[in-house]
């Protein structure tokens, strides 16, 4: 499949809310792969940033910060039946835009579930209320009675999004390599049964970003390879993880949810101050931040096997993220300011000189110990593949594009999560933009080289306990 192939013809208009690094990166991909014209695309955004890029491609640019009070007035004249509302914003309610798209008969996609401004950090709300678990429940409530309405794809970027499809391919690869005979599952129950049969205890979204810049991070500056506002908001949320059926040690600072399936827990501390051990092929073993993401919850939910009212099987699932070194320094400074954001923000793009973003899924506990499957994309290759992208942004924009195309090809599926989708089609669309797609087994466990320098409280009977994975 060519990276210049038109995948779908689309007769409607496309309205993009938000035009930061991901919006600017996906626009050339939309024009390349979706059969539409620039005059049928409108950008609605809160800032002047990106205006020159919009002019470069000849699309309409509307500066209009959306609020709970004005979003209908701004968007309703722009969206009608058969159109597409692409939500790449921060501080704009996903639930509100999903409802609006449904009322207008439009398709919809976002890359994460967002509240209105302040929803992530409002000190008047409880820690649980600020969790992705609760926000996901609020979005999924819109499913009832609307199963055949225009498709609304929730949380489909690189992660959440692409990683759910990588998990399914990884499961099939492990089955082949361990001699477990299986047809490709056709239902959620069959996929969950396969994960249980293989003995998968842990699913890490394991990511290491090694991109570096020739402009050093300055004092009182937050630097990142993608949206600073997006990273800061999710990093300030409580750490969250899907809670597996094999776990024996509940965290002292952990809490369970009263509503929903109970597939995930949260910690009473920010994700940006919580670290976990993980592994990727190029980086080896490292400490990543346990940043909350919707896939940590949806994967645990999707791969649950029930025995009547009792959970018979569920994997532990969570994000384990080591961003660029400049971003790590930015997080340390952010934390030292008592979680008050620095005065200056910078997204690295043209100043990146080298490095890769290694993003994939680590499935562990099976007969071959652990298996990582994912994308190793360099900054050089990203630049050669698509303008206005870094290695990090291209993994996101290609996946968001794939979700859009899937929605256009499946226009009456109601609200869907990445796990509900046919995994093969999105992977097919993304593949030309992922660089090296690698599957690699490892004998690494979170007990590796532990207890040599310091006495640690470890569970040596099962290396894949969260107690062993968490850095304390």
Residue 421 lies in a domain: no
Tens digit of pLDDT for each residue in 429-454?
A: 999 999 999 999 999 999 999 987 78
| 177 and 122 in a common domain | no
With CA atoms as reference, report the closest residue to 333 among 228, 214, 408.
228
Tens digit of pLDDT for each residue in 86-114?
A: 999 999 999 999 999 999 999 999 999 99
Cα–Cα distance measured from residue 412 to residue 187, given in angstroms and rounded to the nearest whole number: 19
Residue 46 lies in a domain: yes
| 359 and 219 in a common domain | yes
Distances 138 to 111, 128, 151, 314 between C-alpha atoms, Å: 16, 13, 17, 23
pLDDT of residue 453: 79
Burial classification of residue 425, based on how many CB atoms lie within 10 Å of its CB (0-12 exposed, 13-18 middle, 19 or more buried): middle
Instruction: Answer yes or no: is pLDDT of 390 > 70.
Output: yes
| Cβ within 8 Å of residue 364, ≥6 positions away | 200, 201, 202, 203, 204, 370, 371, 445, 464
User: Where does a domain end: 135, 153, 171?
Assistant: 153
The CATH number given to whatever domain includes residue 460 is: 3.30.360.30
How many domains, in total, are found in the chain? Answer: 2
Tens digit of pLDDT for each residue in 21-65?
A: 999 999 999 999 999 999 999 999 999 989 999 999 999 999 999
Cα–Cα distance measured from residue 376 to residue 356, given in angstroms and rounded to the nearest whole number: 6
Residue 313 lies in a domain: yes
Average pLDDT, the chain: 96
> Does residue 418 contact residue 156 with C-beta atoms inside 8 Å?
yes
With a pLDDT cut of 90, the percent of the chain lying above it is 94
Task: Place 145 in a pLDDT band, splitting at 50, 70 and 90.
Answer: confident
Tens digit of pLDDT for each residue in 115-134?
A: 998 777 777 789 999 999 99
Length of the chain: 472
pLDDT of residue 52: 94
Report the half-sphere exposure of 415 (CA within 13 A, side-chain side). 22
With CA atoms as reference, report the closest residue to 294 among 392, 189, 419, 193.
419
pLDDT of residue 116: 94
Cα–Cα distance measured from residue 394 to residue 387, given in angstroms and rounded to the nearest whole number: 9
| 189 and 94 in a common domain | no
| 204 and 79 in a common domain | no
Cα–Cα distance measured from residue 241 to residue 315, given in angstroms and rounded to the nearest whole number: 10
- Give residue 443's domain range: 162-391+433-471
Residue 410 lies in a domain: no
Report phi then psi at 185, rounded to 5: -60, 150
With CA atoms as reference, report the closest residue to 470 among 257, 255, 252, 155.
252
| 288 and 222 in a common domain | yes
| 146 and 171 in a common domain | no
| 190 and 94 in a common domain | no
Tens digit of pLDDT for each residue in 300-312?
A: 999 999 999 999 9
User: Where does a domain end: 122, 153, 184?
Assistant: 153
pLDDT of residue 60: 98
Residue 3 lies in a domain: no
Kindly state the average pLDDT of the residues 172-181: 98
Lookup: tokens for 389: 């992208």
The CATH number given to whatever domain includes residue 91 is: 3.40.50.720
Q: Which residue has the higher pLDDT, 1 or 332?
A: 332
Largest separation between any pair of C-alpha atoms in the chain:
65
CA-based angle 450:467:240, to the nearest 5?
130
Task: Place 2 in a pLDDT band, splitting at 50, 70 and 90.
Answer: low
| 118 and 194 in a common domain | no
Residue 399 lies in a domain: no
User: Where does a domain end: 153, 182, 205?
Assistant: 153
User: What DSSP string describes 189-251?
Assistant: HHHHHHHHHHT--EEEEEEEE--EESSPPPTTEEEESS-HHHHHHHHHSEEEEE--TT-----
| 450 and 376 in a common domain | yes
| 202 and 122 in a common domain | no
User: What DSSP string describes 35-59?
Assistant: E--GGGEEEEESSSTTHHHHHHHT-
Residue 122 lies in a domain: yes
Task: Place 1 in a pLDDT band, splitting at 50, 70 and 90.
Answer: low
pLDDT of residue 336: 96
| 173 and 129 in a common domain | no
Residue 418 lies in a domain: no
| 202 and 136 in a common domain | no
> Does residue 292 contact residue 319 with C-beta atoms inside 8 Å?
yes
């Amino acid at each position: 499949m060519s990276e210049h192939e038109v995948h779908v013809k689309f007769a409607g208009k496309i309205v993009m809310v938000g035009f930061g690094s991901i919006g600017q990166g996906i626009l050339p991909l939309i024009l390349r792969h979706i059969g539409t014209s620039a005059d049928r695309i409108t950008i609605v955004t809160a800032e002047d940033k990106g205006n020159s890029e919009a002019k470069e491609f000849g699309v309409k640019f509307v500066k209009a910060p959306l609020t709970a009070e004005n979003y209908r007035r701004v968007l309703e004249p722009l969206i009608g039946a058969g159109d597409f509302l692409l939500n790449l914003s921060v501080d704009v309610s996903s639930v509100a835009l999903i409802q609006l798209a449904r009322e207008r008969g439009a398709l919809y996609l976002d890359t994460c579930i967002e509240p209105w401004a302040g929803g992530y950090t409002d000190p008047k709300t409880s820690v649980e209320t600020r969790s992705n678990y609760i926000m996901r429940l609020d979005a999924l409530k819109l499913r009832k009675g609307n199963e055949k309405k225009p498709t609304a794809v929730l949380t489909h970027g690189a992660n959440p999004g692409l990683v759910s499809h990588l998990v399914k391919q990884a499961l099939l690869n492990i089955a082949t390599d361990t001699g477990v005979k299986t047809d490709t599952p056709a239902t959620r129950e069959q996929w969950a049964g396969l994960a249980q049969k293989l003995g998968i205890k842990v699913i890490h979204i394991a990511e290491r970003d090694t991109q570096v810049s020739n402009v050093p991070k300055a004092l009182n500056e937050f630097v990142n390879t993608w949206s600073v506002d997006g990273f800061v908001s999710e990093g300030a949320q409580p750490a969250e993880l899907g809670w597996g059926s094999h776990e024996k040690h509940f965290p002292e600072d952990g809490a369970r949810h009263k509503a929903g399936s109970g597939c995930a827990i949260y910690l009473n501390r920010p994700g940006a101050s919580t670290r976990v051990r993980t592994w990727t092929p190029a980086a080896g073993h490292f400490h990543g931040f346990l940043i909350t993401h919707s896939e940590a919850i949806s994967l645990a939910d999707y791969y649950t096997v029930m025995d009547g009212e009792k959970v018979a099987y569920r994997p532990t699932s969570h994000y384990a993220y080591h961003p660029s070194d400049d971003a790590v320094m930015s997080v340390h400074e952010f934390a030292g300011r008592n979680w008050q954001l620095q005065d200056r923000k910078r997204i690295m793009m043209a100043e990146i000189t080298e490095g890769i973003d290694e993003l994939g899924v680590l499935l562990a506990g099976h007969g071959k110990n652990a298996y990582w499957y994912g994308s190793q994309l360099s900054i050089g290759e990203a630049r050669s593949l698509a303008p206005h992208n870094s290695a990090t942004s291209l993994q996101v924009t290609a996946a968001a594009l794939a979700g859009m195309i899937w929605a256009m090809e499946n226009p009456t599926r109601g609200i869907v999560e990445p796990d509900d989708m046919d995994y093969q089609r999105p992977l097919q669309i993304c593949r030309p933009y992922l660089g090296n797609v690698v599957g690699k087994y490892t004998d690494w466990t979170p007990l590796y080289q532990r207890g040599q320098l310091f006495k640690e409280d470890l569970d040596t009977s099962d290396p894949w306990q969260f107690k062993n994975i968490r850095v304390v």
